Amino acid sequence: MALPKRKVSRARRGNRRAHWKASSPARSLCPKCGEPKMPHRVCPACGYYKGIQVFEEEEE
């Protein structure tokens, strides 16, 4: 089984991992109210999903 000949430095290890960044979650606009929401989920602002009201919007 192969073994490393030398220790990998922190800089070389960091350069290799430099592209492992997290991406922001996908967002889409709600067709009913225009607020950003997660795709395939109920809109938290208006409570609609695929044109059907799933829950009542909260009144403040």
Tokens of 12: 């070389």
pLDDT for res 56 = 79
Residue 1 has pLDDT above 90, yes or no: no
- Domain-embedded: residue 56: yes
| Residue 52 belongs to domain spanning | 24-60
The whole-number pLDDT of residue 49 equals 92
CA dihedral of residues 45, 50, 55, 60 (deg, nearest 10): 20
Whether 10 is in a domain gets the answer no
- Burial of 42 (C-beta count, 10 Å sphere; 0-12/13-18/19+): middle
| Residue 42 belongs to a domain | yes
- Residue 57 is predicted with a pLDDT of 63
Domain count, the chain: 1
In DSSP terms, 52 is beta-bridged to 49
Q: How far is CA 2 from CA 5, 21, 39, in A?
A: 9, 29, 46
For 4-59, what is each residue's pLDDT tens digit? 999 999 999 999 999 998 999 999 999 999 999 999 999 999 999 998 898 876 66
